[in-house]
A = this chain, B = another copy of it.
Amino acid sequence: MEDVARRAGVSTATVSRTLRGLPNVSADTRGRVLAAAAELSYVVSPIASRLASRRTHTVGVVVPHAARWYFSKVVAGAEEVLREAGLDLLLYSLGDLSARTRFFDQLPLRRRVDAVLTVAMPLTEPEYEAVHTLGVPVVATGLRATGTHCVRIDDTGVMLTAVEHLAGLGHRRIGMISTYADQSMWLPVAHERRAGYLAGLAVTGLPVEPDLVVSVPFGVSGGERAMRRLMERPDPPSAVVAESDELAFGAVAAARRMGLAVPGDVSVVGIDDHDLSDVMDLTTVRQEVVEQGVQAGRMIVRAVQHPGEEPRELVLPTSLVVRGSTAPVAGSSP
């Protein structure tokens, strides 16, 4: 920086001001400084800059599984706007329980980030407090949050929509594929969607049959297992809603492997509108996942610039996408 200052005939302070785009620099000197910097192909050291300014210009993004569809989409959406805003994105993937406890124990984010974005990470009370000791704004996506900003969808609503769709097709016995917490992550969403399922039954006047709700680990193979369990019953349901499309994929595959026709013998609905839902011809309730990341990124940017603002909540819309995995119930005249 001294070199640039000398070459431009100014002080390092002016160089600093110029390079940061501060207003109080005359157009003339600004030009000389920029020219000098360009000639020397100089760029400020972000590290030194951060030390001096006491701001990290970094946001910590913590996800349960960086490689999963939902999370990678959200991260990609957030990355775009954070990058745009000049914020570095520090990725933490808390795959297993040990990684998670270590993370909240040691808090590697201390003195390291200006904000935190949690992607579909329900926090326990101690975890929540640990994050808040960081003293930086927090934005959560994928679930309802109290005390922090959040962007999410109506998780009970999507399931209600799915059930109403099936009921509208004449289905009166509807199963649900749910997940149990893999390591206490994801819990609230599973809970809300189950609530939405029950709400759907209530609204459409269908009886609740507890045995028609099966819980499995998240993933395609979980969906397969669940579907087998449901359809091997003496009185299988004529339709099934799945907590997510990936579960639904497994469900459809399992049904077909059992020799059942989808949607002939059993209709299936998912949630997400996964990239592959179209080729799987899966009826689903669409959510805009990348958009969630984008909006969360914007919230982060705002929060970094105006910390201490009231926590805001953004609920993004969803929409039913009817495809070929659902049909009127067999033997009915809809």
Query: Which residues from chain A sit less than 8 Å from chain B, CB to CB?
Result: 43-48, 50-51, 56, 65-68, 71-73, 75-77, 79-80, 83, 88-93, 95, 107, 110-112, 220-221, 224, 246, 249-250, 252-253, 275-276, 278-281, 290
A45 smallest CB distance to B (angstroms) = 5
A80 CB contacts on chain B under 8 angstroms? 93, 95
Known: A80-B93, A220-B275. 10 other contacts (CB 8 A): A43-B111, A47-B47, A47-B51, A51-B51, A67-B72, A67-B290, A90-B90, A220-B278, A220-B279, A276-B276
Distance, CA A112 to CA B278, complexed state (A): 41
Distance, CA A275 to CA B252, complexed state (A): 15
Q: How many monomers of this protein are in the complex?
A: 2
Distance, CA A194 to CA B33, complexed state (A): 51
B75/A249 in contact, CB under 8 A:
no
Identify which of A45, A89, A220, A276 gathers the most chain B CB atoms within 10 Å of its CB: A276
A279/B76 in contact, CB under 8 A:
no
Distance, CA A109 to CA B246, complexed state (A): 36
- Looking across the interface, which residue of chain B has its beta carbon closest to that of A79? B93
Distance, CA A111 to CA B46, complexed state (A): 7
A95 CB contacts on chain B under 8 angstroms? 80
A45 CB contacts on chain B under 8 angstroms? 51, 111
A88 CB contacts on chain B under 8 angstroms? 90
A110 smallest CB distance to B (angstroms) = 5
B66/A112 in contact, CB under 8 A:
no
Distance, CA A73 to CA B56, complexed state (A): 28
- Looking across the interface, which residue of chain B has its beta carbon closest to that of A53? B47
Distance, CA A72 to CA B111, complexed state (A): 27
Distance, CA A221 to CA B89, complexed state (A): 31
A29 smallest CB distance to B (angstroms) = 23
What 5 pairs across the A-B complex have the smallest Cβ distances? A72-B72, A67-B76, A253-B279, A66-B76, A45-B111
B73/A67 in contact, CB under 8 A:
yes
- Looking across the interface, which residue of chain B has its beta carbon closest to that of A293? B67
Tell me whether A112 and B46 are in contact in the complex, defined as CB-CB below 8 angstroms, given that A65-B76, A250-B279 are known contacts.
Answer: yes
A48/B46 in contact, CB under 8 A:
no
A166 smallest CB distance to B (angstroms) = 21
Tell me whether A56 and B66 are in contact in the complex, defined as CB-CB below 8 angstroms, given that A220-B276, A278-B220 are known contacts.
Answer: no
Tell me whether A253 and B281 are in contact in the complex, defined as CB-CB below 8 angstroms, given that A47-B47, A67-B72 are known contacts.
Answer: yes
Q: Can you list 12 contacts pairing A with B, beta carbon distance less than 8 Å?
A: A44-B111, A47-B111, A66-B75, A83-B93, A89-B90, A220-B279, A224-B279, A252-B279, A253-B278, A253-B279, A253-B280, A276-B276
B220/A249 in contact, CB under 8 A:
no
A274 smallest CB distance to B (angstroms) = 9
- Looking across the interface, which residue of chain B has its beta carbon closest to that of A112? B46
A46 CB contacts on chain B under 8 angstroms? 111-112
Tell me whether A91 and B111 are in contact in the complex, defined as CB-CB below 8 angstroms, given that A220-B275, A276-B276, A279-B224 are known contacts.
Answer: no
Distance, CA A93 to CA B46, complexed state (A): 20
A50 CB contacts on chain B under 8 angstroms? 47
A12 smallest CB distance to B (angstroms) = 16
